[in-house]
Structure 1
Amino acid sequence: MKKIWKNLITSNYAFIGNSNNQRRGIILNITLLIMIILFLPLSIYNFFNRDIVTYAIIEFSTSILLICIIFYIRYSKNLTIASNIVAAIVILNITSYIYTENGQNNSFIWISSFIAFIFYLKGLKKGLFISFIFAICLFLFMFSLILNSDSYFNIVSFINVGTSFFVFLGILFFYHYLLDVAEKKLLKLNKNLSKRVKIELEKKEKQNILLIQKSKLEELGETFAMLTHQWQQPLSIIFLETNILLDKLENSENIPNENKKDIEIILNNISNKTKFMFETLNDFNSFLSPYSQENTFSPYSSIKKMCSFIEPSFIIKNIKIIFSQESNKNSLVFGKENEFKQVILNILTNAAQSIEEKQKNNKDFIGNIFIDIKKEENILIISIKDNGIGVLIDNYFEPYITSKKDGTGIGLYLGKLIINKMNGKIDLKNHENGCEVVIELSIVYNHQ
């Protein structure tokens, strides 16, 4: 209650809602207070004037009703009902004045000015237009009354009051116009600011995702570097000892030729496998290194290496990787090869998972992943197609969107960021027998 009386005039500055409602609330609040100030003294004056006691009762009742409306607005914040009630009160009192006064008393013009406020409260441009038309009608009505009067005082009074009223109404319209312009500028500024904030948040989110992925690769790279260091020495010993045995076998005369051939095949196999393990370890170290630089590389060679990493596990799952015989082997592109390998590895893994879902209903189903690399003018087009169940979602390149139970939803999103950074394009589409990922990269060099 204390707060209501303390903020009797300006309490609606804290009106909950948009700026239009806040403005309407302030004007309605001031209108009510002015009307109460006018009606209460007038009702007291008319009460002691026995000729119009009845009208005094109406004015006093109206004042009480207006006070109730002020309290109602503060508790309900409902301007529509309050505006309609005030409009009805003003129209009722103006009508009463017209029928009871003879034109000598021009005071009702001041009360009628509040109808402009009421219509203003009903809306913006429409309310202003109605207010202006209503004011003209009042002016013409008063002018018709003055024409029937010979009093110079009434004519001057009418001109003064009417002029004051229109000046006041013009100030109100101009004030509204300034508020409207300021509000539009503020809304435009807020809209632009919201867009900038949204863009910055999206950039920040992308950076965080890349940093997290890079951090994971760094940890994995450090772990694998330690393992590589531990494996290199025993592998080196095996490789050297195998070559020594091959040399001795070649110079040995005590071993029969038939046995010598079998032993030579076994030793060569051990030597080749050991060499392959060396190369695999080096490739893994290169792949997991977070410090790779941008340079030219062959997508064909990169894809081949990633296939050699993942193919043994695919064979166990009854999945084959099939390269097109016409695949382009000579074109080079520019970018970070390790990041490109991550994209290929993720695509191959997704293809295998899609095939595995299909194999749940048919254990004998053979999965195939077809890889084709072709050149069209200066663009290298890489197609990776599988015969799995396809993609079950539409916004697959958005972060944290996944149809997998244990998926993170950032694999394809990161892939798109990496390919875009290489000034390329990546697209994914379903077909009748699975899914196809198409990557387009600009060629920077071609081997002859």
Structure 2
Amino acid sequence: MDIVIKLSQFLLSLSLLIILHELGHFIPAKLFKTRVEKFYLFFDVKYSLIKKKIGETEYGIGWLPLGGYVKISGMIDESMDKEQMALPPQPWEFRSKPAWQRLIIMLGGVTVNFILAFIIYIGMAFAYGDIFIANADLKDGLLIENKAMQNVGFKTGDHILSVDGEKITRFDNDLTMKVIMAKQILIERNGAEQAIKMPNDFVDQLSKQEKVPLVSIRMPYAITSISEGSLNTALQPKDIITSLNGQSTKYFDQVKSVLEKNKNKTIAATVLRDEKEIKVPVIVSSNGELGITVGSLGMASLEKLGYYKISKQEFGFLESIPVGITKGKDQLVGYGKQLKMIFNPETKAYKQVGGFKAIFDIFPNTWSWEVFWNITALLSIMLGVMNLLPIPALDGGHVMFLLYEIISGKKPSDKFLENAQMVGFVLLITLLLFANGNDIYKAIVGK
């Protein structure tokens, strides 16, 4: 069932992005009276799953879910329809339209992608508000379990004060990405400030470690169940261990540390049960374990227990607009920085470029509209930016040649455009094989 939910989200998001992107080309083409021969979700190599011709356009769904397309008459594209291009230009063809109209048609797809992302972020601000923990409320610092972070110099209990000079005022999902792309991070440890320089190949180092969050809030040791055969029958589900062997253990990591030091021993514990503190003996195994399952508490429970103050901002519709625009702008700038890292050989970030499996893995196994829309907005930005790359066969390649034509007044020949399209297509296939090859390699080696 989990795989069905994951796959459903992946296909729904991908379909939505493709259809809206292609509509971005389709609508201005129609407005400028340019004939659109095909409008397809997914590729119809050899045959279509569904197709229906309405007017001059064939609408359909292909069987190969690697994208989608609109086929515009008189345009040199991936179809490489040389027979049509050999005929005299017709008034309804793309090549017969003024350069400025052709430019608008080509920019339509990425424009829709960016607008969609901003609309989603505005809608999310209005529907869900903004939930975070103020950095000042992280009294005991962050949990650092990631080995790559530890190797760089971070420790549990550190406060992150700033990233590349930007003051960190809150703990939220964006902090992880800021840390990944950082050059220098200022922390506070035991009351003293310390600067940690991030290595250029930090992304590559991360890929060699187990998938553990870079930074996370410190959680209490909350018991969800007692394992069968466990000797610790004095413990009960929903207990929270607050001290062990006379030491305060407010957090999970503190409990683990005490257990490691008391293997094969019976020690005293204090647990919070039904809002009362109860003393019980616990038996520590030779592995430093209690034979129990531990889980995470929700934000509401953490706040009720006094661990953290959860801040929530709610926005009216008009208030949501600048909030969503700011979020979209930050994500756009952030993705631009990621691309810069990928194209910098020193970072070795290119090793982490992923294909369709990497995108598929982003989606969770449980359905959450908030998570779905957040991922879809980010993918929309990624699709828009990638399509703007000046590579023939992508929208950016067509835009590059159209700008040259507008500035110079000279239109590149059809032969030149055909050759450029072939070069771009080969380059695009190479990038596609590289990205999906990375996915396959990671699946084989388990990284």
TM-score, length of structure 2 as denominator length: 0.22
> Which of the two has greater strand per residue?
2
The one of the two structures with greater contact order (alpha-carbon pairs below 8 A, sep at least 6) is: 2
